[in-house]
Amino acid sequence: MSIAGAAIIWIALLGPVITLITRMSPGDIWTALTGAGNLDPLLTSIESGLVTLGVLLLLCTPLAWMLARDRLPFPRIWEAGILCSLLLPPLVIGLLLVFMVGPYTWVGSVLDWVHQSATNTFLALVIAEVYESAPYYVLGARAAFASVDTGLEQQAGLLGDRPGRVFRRVTLPMAAPGLAMALAVSWARAIGAFGAVVIIAYHPFGIPMQIFTTLQETGLYSALPYALVLLVVALPLPMAAYVWSARAERRRRG
């Protein structure tokens, strides 16, 4: 394929972003963002996105490592489970979450007992974002761990490192670029989560919900500035992960 062909495809893929930028004037953006409480959805999205990343790192990283290292019995069944949750449409995830953690379930009862709720709360928003982004993180992290040569881990062990130190000194640094990319993809999924969110976490508003309600209440043009904000907020982390991964790779090549 020629460079011109590649450029056409690239521009076509960027079409929505280009449209977004060209459709707005600085005045539109200023008006949208300076209104009272207009930045609240942005803060909500950032906070819930960061908490989601923390949950993924803490809970899903060990699972991804165990999948990559065949530490689980019947590994194909475990992987099939992850794929199932990946294939479920976000809207369906939201519907099912209502039956799983909603107020009339035993989880809901337990949460109610500690004065919490998994519907229309910050907790609900995080749960929805976790369910929408976790499969992407698990599969990405699994691939990152699988790319680390087990022979190197074995060598580190023979040089005197216990398994925990091997993980910290060899496995993690070597898988880090892949983990960073998996985290970046999950971040994009979390911060842009809508399907599950609209069912179980209509409130508090994150940016996607703000776009949806603005679109419904005041029309297409009013929603676009929030879309730009979403892009601007979501982009730095994936970009940083990409740049850092490329630098780590260059460093390894000497």
Partner 1 sequence: MYGARVLSVDVEVDRREFTVRAALEVADGERVALFGPSGAGKTTVLEAIAGLVTLRGHVSLSDRVLTSTSEHVDVPPWRRRVGLLRQDPGLFPHLSVRANLLYARSAREDELAELAAQLDIAALLSAMPARLSGGQRHRVALGRLLLAHCDALLLDEPFASLDAALRRSLTALVKDISSERMVASVLVTHQLADAQAFADRLAVIDEGLILQIGAPDEVVLRPASRRVAELVGYLGFVPAGGAPGSAAGVVAGVHPERVIAGADPDRGLVVTGTVTAARPSGAGWEADVLAGDATFTCRLPSRPVAQLAVTVLDPPYFAADGVLLTPGQHIRSA
Binding interface with partner 1 (CB under 8 A): 149, 151-152, 154-163, 169-170, 173-174, 248, 251-254
Measured distance CA(128)–CA(91) in Å, rounded: 10
Shortest reach from residue 162's CB to partner 1, in Å: 5
How many C-beta neighbours within 10 Å does residue 95 have? 16
Shortest reach from residue 248's CB to partner 1, in Å: 7
Shortest reach from residue 177's CB to partner 1, in Å: 10
Kindly tell me the burial class for residue 235, based on how many C-beta atoms sit within 10 Å of its own C-beta (0-12, 13-18, 19 or more). Answer: middle
- Residue 7 or residue 152: which is nearer to partner 1 going by CB? 152
Measured distance CA(136)–CA(217) in Å, rounded: 33
Shortest reach from residue 241's CB to partner 1, in Å: 17
